Structure 1
Amino acid sequence: MRFTLLVLISLAIALGLGGWSAHLTLEESAEIGTVAVGPWTANPFAGSPDADPYAKARLARLGSLTLGIGEGILFTADRDSSDAPLRRQCQYRIAGHTPPTRIWTLAPYTPEGRLIQPGAGRAGWLTSHNLMRAEDNSFAVAIGPMARAGNWLATSGRGPLVLALALYDTPASASSGVDSLSLPDIELETCFDG
């Protein structure tokens, strides 16, 4: 009986420490293969067969599908251009240009990967085809809970915010130097903490 108890304790310790170390390794290796362009980050190889094993394991754990290299690239931002965390109760301005692409989308998510529901009658994401632009093809988008004139992406609730900018059918790929791209800035305008 004592031998069986020692084997069970040993297995519990081995499985517990093994699971904890695997989880820690996946969290700490999140930066492997990622590139940063201002506040935006992307892993260009995440959807390719050549992705590192840690990236494949993170994607399997999250259960999310990624864009293949030929399909496009997904950039995310959880901080603004001044390196402050993005929050749903704040108003932001995204302005600038995107690389050449057939179409791009911009959507707000929770850190867990759930699309933030903006409320009845409001779009939960924006696409490049329905934006108002300046003469030089630049754009500005207001993001936040308060309605704004022009391009506005509504958010709701309180807490952290992750913005996802997906570029579809674009020559901006890993082979052309993703880190040398120009992406729009994210600037804080005001917060509604009250």
Structure 2
Amino acid sequence: MKSWHRYTITLVGGLAVGLGAAWALTTGGLRDGGIENGPWSTSLGYGTKATDPITRAAVARGGLLALPAKETIYWSAKTDAAGAKLDGNCRYSLSGTPLDARWWSVTIYDEAGYLVVNPANIWSVNGANVALDAKGEWRVTISPSKPAEGAWLPGTKGQPFHLTLRMYNPGKAFRANPEKAALPKIVKEGC
């Protein structure tokens, strides 16, 4: 075998291993952000110079234009409260109390990180469009079929999904202890 063949094979092999490793390291999305709160995960380093290169690459792959934590905190959830993967065939209750932020939203994405395709063209709910009940709590149904009443995020049958919670201008008390903050609950009601 000629020496240029060996160099070419080594170069191609090295590129394949390097690109494969980079892809594998950033495929987890934002799940390993360092701060866990129930099914939600985040990092206060998103959007700052202190963020490590792997997290920056995961943010870039996810298409998220991350602002620093004093402006926005991004939470990601791929499981329900019981730890089961979120499944588009199932019905979930997403509920909570008003969040300690100027404005917040929850958006539904498919496994590839794109908005879930649905005929209703609904991908997000926010603090301004969910009603509070007598206890001061809000509730959103996530399911393939629209509920008779209340806020709804359409899931797609046969398609796993994940949720991103964005909290804009979170309060100082929240930023001081995000692991203990009251975040929305994700409870499976049935499939």
Which category describes the TM-score, using the shorter chain as reference length?
A: 0.7 to 0.9
Q: Residue in 2 aligned with 1:166?
A: 166
Counterpart contact for 1:69–1:173, Cα < 8 Å: no
Q: Residue in 2 aligned with 1:95?
A: 95
Counterpart Cα distance in 2 of 1:131 and 1:175: 24
Residue deviations 1:121-174 (CA, integer Å, cap 9, x gap): x53211111211023421111111122212222223322110111111112688
Q: Unaligned regions of 5+ residues in structure 2, if any?
A: none
Amino acid of the residue matched to residue 146 of structure 2? Answer: A
Counterpart Cα distance in 2 of 1:123 and 1:13: 44
Residue deviations 1:95-138 (CA, integer Å, cap 9, x gap): 22253111111111102111113314x53211111211023421
Counterpart Cα distance in 2 of 1:29 and 1:110: 12
> Equivalences for 1:6-155 in 2 at 5 Å?
6-27=6-27, 33-120=33-120, 123-148=122-147, 149-155=149-155
Amino acid of the residue matched to residue 124 of structure 2? Answer: W
Q: 1:21 to 1:107 in 2, by over 3 A?
A: closer
Counterpart Cα distance in 2 of 1:184 and 1:28: 22
- 1:178 offset after TM fit, Å? 1.6
Counterpart Cα distance in 2 of 1:30 and 1:107: 14
Counterpart Cα distance in 2 of 1:58 and 1:173: 28
Amino acid of the residue matched to residue 156 of structure 1? Answer: T
Counterpart contact for 1:44–1:173, Cα < 8 Å: no
Q: Unaligned regions of 5+ residues in structure 1, if any?
A: none
> Aligned with 1:135: secondary structure?
coil
Counterpart Cα distance in 2 of 1:80 and 1:64: 22
> Aligned with 1:58: secondary structure?
helix
Counterpart contact for 1:78–1:86, Cα < 8 Å: yes
Counterpart Cα distance in 1 of 2:128 and 2:29: 36
* Identical aligned residues as a percent: 26
Tell me how large the CA RMSD over aligned residues is. 2.4
Amino acid of the residue matched to residue 113 of structure 1? Answer: G
Counterpart contact for 1:45–1:174, Cα < 8 Å: no
Aligned residues: 190
Counterpart Cα distance in 2 of 1:29 and 1:159: 17
TM-score, normalised to structure 2's length? 0.86
More deviation, 88-97/63-72: 63-72
